[in-house]
Amino acid sequence: MSVMEAGYNSRWERACRQEKNLEGWRQDGRRDSCRLREEDVVLKPARECNKANITSMSWFRSNIKSGEAAEATEVQANRGAINNDNLGLAPICPHMPMEKMTLAELEHAASGPRRFVNFVDQFGSASKARTQPYMSCQFSSREKPSGTETSDGLYRTSHLFLVPGGCFLITAGAQIVYLWDLGYNMYTPVKPFLVATTPVNGNVFILTASPASETGQTVLNVAVHTQSVALSIQFKPPISLAILALYQINPLSPQPAFHLKGELQLDPQVDTFLNHILLHDSTVFINFSPTIGVWNWAENMGCRWAQGEVESSSGLTVCDESIIGVDDDHNFVVWDLLELCSLPGGVNGLPNIHHGPKVVRQPNHEDRGLPAFSTTSMSSWQRHRQGYLAYIIAEDENQDYRLFLYSIQQVGRCDTAFLPAHIPVAGGQSQFISEDLGEPITNPVSPIFLCDDWLVMCSRTNADELIATILPVPIEALEDMTIYPSSAILVNEGGDDADSLWDYNVGFYPMSGRVVYHASDTCLHILDFLLPLGE
């Protein structure tokens, strides 16, 4: 028994002794008016216990006389654990309302984060057995009678986004965006159900989503970047169109539908390379090449500025109103967001402004010939937690260290002249990402998730494998910053096409243990790795 479990058990034993004393008071009939409520004395510790211990203590109900009260408290504790893991945002909770979930379903969801961490640790070396999913399902995109279907009558799926929680999946292909309900990953086999569709103007190049608000509503913001060619009689050659569109949808409404909330028309000649999009409430952060853009679609405001020599493969990290990138010399560059410009006369591009970075900070490592690298940071769905950033060097490079972990710390304010509001602070480094797991890591395909007080991400290897990696939360006070990741292979064979597993066609959510990826250009593969409790 661990020290943590012993502490919880002793707490429960004291609570049970108090409950027995209260029973004696009841039999004597004395001081009845002063008697504390059973819930206050006996059941209150349940709300303070770790969710994994609540679900694992088989003697929980047997030591409390009021079975109904005990079950009610278990339900309340598990709901609280789910809300804590998911920041209280309904879209990333299980697809059914928690009020309608059984106790077993609540326990399965509440204990999911810890069980996934244990699962990866269990299969964290090549000497152990390969990971095997609890359930596996393949499904093809919806059939279409005519139009841009393949020769076998199926849509091609070019992009996907797994909504955190693992139930809802957004896909795009053939100038249409879909929302699917994949179901809850417990007992019932996965049977994807098409919830809603919307046509879009052109081929999709970027697809992402975020919660529309922090009030627990189930509305999703969905950003879609498309490009198309419009034939023109007056002008030759044909006119290219590039549009960034923002949709909202409530997947739990009686009749879900995509609602267009805003469009930003881009210059296809200048904005050819749109590398990365981050959604934060009503603000869209855009990594163009060679500029950075910010668009508030709700207030019709925005701007853009030259990003200098920011490496396009690094992506952007946004923490509150600070934007962090990595330049070609592998230095961190930080901008604090200025007041946005109004966009009069409708939304048609973003005005250019001069906005240099406040700081250029050298990472805590020495580059040898500027190796191939990539970065990933906290999921925007957990943006109000402590921010973290991982700097990853491709494992086929000759480097002493492969991974550098940073926490994003507040050091100033946005309105100061030189000091940025946030900077990356070194928190750990590792000589490997996936020790003894075969092929080297090339790049991450998911953001970082804070999962049961660990950092979890998914990466791709040279052999088109998907690997889940667990990292400790960095502690800057430690003198020795060496960290030891634990990794496990989730998918050891990619799709039919070479280089098929990238961030735009892989969905990963560790809290529910679900992975979705391309099996082919017309077929998706869904894997669930968490067994129901008791199996």
Q: How far apart are CA 71 and CA 475, in angstroms?
A: 38
Give the CA distances from residue 330 to residues 27, 325, 327, 360, 476, in Å, rounded to whole numbers and listed in that order: 74, 9, 5, 10, 21
168 Cβ contact list (under 8 Å, min separation 6): 91, 95, 162, 179, 180, 181, 182, 195, 220, 251
Which of 127-136, 157-166, 408-417 ranks highest by mean pLDDT?
157-166
DSSP calls for 124-158: -STTSPPP--SEEEEEEPPB-SSSS--TTSB----
19 Cβ partners below 8 Å, 6+ apart?
A: 38, 41, 42, 63, 64, 65
Contact 226, 201 (CB under 8 A): yes
- Of the two residues 27 and 462, the one the predictor is more confident about is 462
Q: pLDDT: is 339 or 236 the higher one?
A: 339
User: Structure tokens of 422?
Assistant: 């946030």
pTM: 0.81
What are the start-end ranges of the H helices in 401-473? none
C-alpha pair distances (Å), 317 with each of 142, 361, 383, 411:
35, 15, 10, 16
Peptide bond preceding 357 in cis form (omega within 30 of 0): no
Cβ contacts of residue 391 below 8 Å, gap of 6+? 326, 363, 373, 375, 403, 404, 405, 406
Residue 407 structure tokens: 């926490």
Q: Rounded to whole angstroms, how far apart are CA atoms 342 and 299?
A: 8
- Mean pLDDT, residues 508-528: 87
330: left (phi > 0), else alpha (psi -120 to 50), else beta? left
Question: Considering only CA atoms, which of 267, 436, 285, 292 is closest in space to residue 352?
Answer: 292
Contact 166, 185 (CB under 8 A): yes
Output the CA angle 141-146-152, nearest 5 degrees: 50
| 276 pLDDT more than 70 | yes
What pLDDT, on the 0 to 100 scale, is given for residue 449? 92
CB 405 within 8 A of CB 390: yes
3-state secondary structure of 295: strand
Q: What does the pLDDT read at residue 4?
A: 37
Q: Answer whether residue 13 shows pLDDT above 70.
A: no
In the structure encoding, which two tokens stand for residue 195, read together? 């919830």
User: Residue 263 forms beta bridges with which residues?
Assistant: 245
Q: What is the pLDDT of residue 96?
A: 61
Q: N- to C-terminal Cα distance for the chain?
A: 21
Determine contact, residues 360/333, Cβ cutoff 8 Å. Answer: yes
108 close to 82: Cβ distance less than 8 angstroms: no
β-sheet bridge partners, residue 423: 409
Comparing 406 with 39, the larger pLDDT belongs to 406
Query: What size, in residues, is the chain?
Result: 535
Is residue 152 very low, low, confident or very high in pLDDT (cuts 50, 70, 90)?
Answer: low
Residue 145 pLDDT exceeds 50:
no
Q: Is the pLDDT of residue 52 over 70?
A: no
Residues forming beta bridges with residue 481, ordered by sequence position = none
pLDDT at 1: 43
Helix (H) or strand (E) holding 287: strand 283-287
pLDDT at 51 over 70: no
Q: What is the residue extent of each domain of the chain?
A: 3-117
Share the mean pLDDT of the chain: 74
Q: Could you tell me how far CA 135 lies from the centroid of its own chain?
A: 21
Q: Highest-confidence range of 10-14, 28-32, 406-410, 460-464, by mean pLDDT?
A: 406-410
Task: Determine the pLDDT at residue 246.
Answer: 93
For residue 262, give every residue at least 6 positions away whose Cβ sits within 8 Å of its Cβ, in sequence order, or none: 245, 246, 297, 298, 300, 347
Per-position DSSP letters for 361-392, written without gaps between them: E--SS--SS---EEEEEB-GGGTTS-EEEEEE
